Amino acid sequence: MAELLATVSAQELREWRAFYDCEPWGWEASLYGPAINAALTANLHRDPKKHARPYTPLDFIPRPPGPVQIRPINGPALLAKFQTTFAGFAAPGKQANGSR
């Protein structure tokens, strides 16, 4: 985070956030196109007597079941998790154990 804040201003971060709000990217955004097609197809074949409310694209985008729980993690625990995750990777020119 420190490197990000050292190279990008708060104003630029706000601009990126505003851009994302207008034109989202990432895997969630890539699900929206197929979801539109699925909603259109489902509505074409929908029986209004059995399903009164028209389908929307959000009906076809997968979400985790139940509420999403975000657990806070402290700095040392985050560092340990990071080191465990990337223990097998080494910087260019170094071996995984830290030697050259």
Give the domain extent around 50: 2-64
Position 85 in a domain: no
The tokens describing 30, both together, are: 């890539």
CB 30 within 8 A of CB 61: no
pLDDT score, position 39:
96
Judge whether residue 32 has pLDDT over 60.
yes
Going 45 to 47 to 50 to 54, the CA torsion angle's sign is positive
Residue in this structure with the two tokens 């993690």, named with its chain if needed: 73
- Region 43-68: what's the mean pLDDT? 88
Domain count, the chain: 1
- Token pair belonging to 3: 């490197």
Is the pLDDT assigned to residue 95 strictly greater than 60?
no
Query: Is 83 among the domain residues?
Result: no
Taking the whole predicted model, whether its pTM rises above 0.75 is answered as: no
Residue 100 placed within a domain? no
